[in-house]
A and B are shown apart, each in its own frame.
Chain A
């Protein structure tokens, strides 16, 4: 979905979101409160500039608007693949963005993310996946890497991966697989504004993704292994 149409659906009371070089930033009114909106559009490749711009926007909210909710809008093709970005330490820029979102969460800002188009890999784990909860639109796609590149690196034939990507939750790119694995809290259909308002009111701030993955049957071992290690016991059989 185009971001302006998405914003109209989300914010009937108006917004001030601006787009600059694929970077989105502004405020919106939700449920009588002003929230900050920060994100990317046009399947942005996340290079060091746009990672830094998002981090700066998050820090500004923490500094100037205590307790203000933050909505992260996710549309990215993943990290930018350039020698120059690697040379300058793109992992440091992306880690910085992730740490700024973490600081916001721990400082009392409710942080909600919405994948409204594409989410990929490094561009996603330092934005949407750092939120208190990450949601997705039904037509969005979430993946680690394109199947041809995955086939080259894993040496698994492309035909096999293509077959698996149809319905295997580990390989298929649809948001419902991520929901079943706990990576996506819920998929938003119909009334987006109401669901955003509900999400901003949800008091949970703990990472529950492994527990959700177990409850929903999409990731059966993660939570059991975490619990076994934490408590010094054995992994309970399924």
Chain B
């Protein structure tokens, strides 16, 4: 076992890919740093908080990027976003088997405000452009900062999401909602509620992620390998039929659960008779329970 949660971006990408196969693009020795942080006296990083490059995933040729949660929470600035866009564009040129994005991020880097917002939009468009070239994009989420803000949207533009139980995926963070709408709307210190609302198991049950694994880099490696195989069975591109199915799935979710306010009640209605035990289950026990009990919407 090697914890994904506790590893940094470089450790994750090195151990996810085949030994000694990873080659970094625009490495820290190039010293390309954010042009905006100095005016706020904020520290810079020589990789601007994201590691990108190429390697092999169980023999398949992939491009990969890993966001470093330890630098500004993995948030996307001008250079960080441009590195992701460049990687996704090069994937189309070189026709790799897949692009793997190890996302850990709060979304737009507020220190770069307007430039960060455009950068996230460019990443979103680049993900969809890569998919349009029939190259699957796989997202892995298991870092302590979760995957939030605009990057929570980008994640759902990918073909496949793998999460750990500890991973979190959402849009606005609990602190932002609490600040804007009050503690009675969302108590950000209620860790169990935060986890039930944004955590991997809830997302898996809803159909917003396609695989859930234990907090282990090898487990992510296995799931990512299978995800690439699964995605390459069909086309990676958007289709009208798939988006109409997604429209129906999201409309049904709103219809079925739109008046709920407790995730556990949703799990019960999905067929989990005893939702109280869900938080205690290991990933494999959990997926077995879901397999037995739930007709999961939207899952492949």
Contact = CB atoms under 8 A, between A and B. Distances in A.
Contacts of A94: 153, 156, 171
Given A48-B254, A87-B260, A172-B114, 12 more contacts: A59-B240, A79-B172, A81-B185, A98-B124, A103-B243, A125-B120, A129-B121, A152-B179, A168-B39, A181-B114, A225-B82, A229-B83
B261 A83 contact: yes
Interface of B: 25-26, 30, 32, 35-36, 39-40, 52, 78-79, 81-83, 85-87, 89-90, 93, 108, 110-122, 124-126, 128-129, 132, 149-150, 152-157, 169-172, 174, 176-177, 179-181, 185-186, 197-198, 202-203, 206, 208, 238-240, 243-244, 246-247, 250-251, 253-254, 257-258, 260-261, 263, 266
Nearest to B253: A88
A82 B108 CA distance: 19
Interface residues of A, number: 81
Sort A-B residue pairs by CB-CB distance and give the 5 closest, nearest first. Answer: A229-B86, A95-B156, A225-B82, A91-B152, A129-B121
Given A81-B177, A91-B169, A55 B52 contact: no
Interface in A165-181: 168-172, 177-178, 181
Interface of A: 48-49, 52, 55-56, 59, 62-63, 79, 81-96, 98-100, 102-103, 106-107, 121-122, 124-126, 129-130, 142-145, 149-150, 152-154, 156, 160, 164, 168-172, 177-178, 181-183, 207, 209-210, 213, 219-232, 234-235
A144 B113 contact: yes
A144 B185 contact: no
Given A52-B247, A79-B172, A209-B118, A229 B26 contact: yes
A231 B129 CA distance: 17
Q: Which of B120, B152, B253 has the most CB of A within 10 A?
A: B152
Given A106-B132, A229-B83, A235-B32, A125 B177 contact: no
Given A91-B170, A156-B40, A99 B122 contact: no
B30 to A, nearest CB: 6
A103 B117 contact: no
10 contacts: A55-B247, A59-B243, A86-B197, A92-B208, A96-B243, A98-B153, A106-B132, A225-B26, A225-B82, A229-B90
B171 A91 contact: yes
A141 to B, nearest CB: 11
A42 B157 CA distance: 28
A148 B150 CA distance: 20
Given A62-B240, A164-B39, A122 B179 contact: no
